[in-house]
Amino acid sequence: MIPQSDVEMTDEELEPVQLPGRTYRFDFNNGRVSSHKVDGIEAVKQTVFKILSTRRFDHLIYSGNYGNEMDLSAVRGRVVFESEVERWVSEALTQDDRISAVTGFSFNYQLDTVQVRFTVETDFGSYQEEQEV
């Protein structure tokens, strides 16, 4: 049975509320979740790591807005590669309301990998992130 009500709410009456960012700390060295909690920029750092480590649409537990869509199979040339990596990372991370922008990309090419460094601008401040592609 579906509950019935005489009260109708419009979208104008609803106010967006920012959800708390508090989460359990990941222990990346041991591959475990700690009982300690983190908030603020530390929670955002963990979220960035998780988003960039998760392929979008591969896991039913996450919404279609979570994860990245990196696909290096069709990318040819450094200019296109750098442009696509910037787009993929920016689109993936700015889905989180706490992240306002991703800027300052730099690329360090090694034998068969690339170190990508960028700045994540959040509501709690900015920090440098580095990922290997």
> Which residue, 82, 74, 76, 77, is CA-closest to 115?
82
Q: What is the mean predicted confidence (pLDDT) over 107-119?
A: 89
pLDDT at 67: 77
Alpha helices, H only, 2-123: 41-53, 78-93
Confidence of residue 106 (pLDDT cuts 50, 70, 90): very high
Higher per-residue pLDDT: 46 or 3 = 46
Q: Domain 21-132 belongs to what topology?
A: Nuclear Transport Factor 2; Chain: A, (3.10.450)
* pLDDT tens per residue across span 5-62: 766 766 666 676 666 677 788 887 888 888 888 888 888 888 888 888 888 777 777 7
| Nearest partner of 70 among 116, 31, 126, judged by Cα | 116
Write down the pLDDT at residue 18. 65
Average pLDDT over residues 91-100: 87
Please list the residues that pair with 37 across neighbouring strands: 24
Domain ranges of the chain: 21-132
Please give the model's pTM, rounded to 2 decimal places.
0.74
Mean pLDDT of the chain: 82
pLDDT reported for residue 10: 66
119 pLDDT tier (thresholds 50, 70, 90): very high
Percentage, residues of the chain above pLDDT 90: 11
Query: What is the full DSSP assignment across 67-81?
Result: SB---GGG--SHHHH
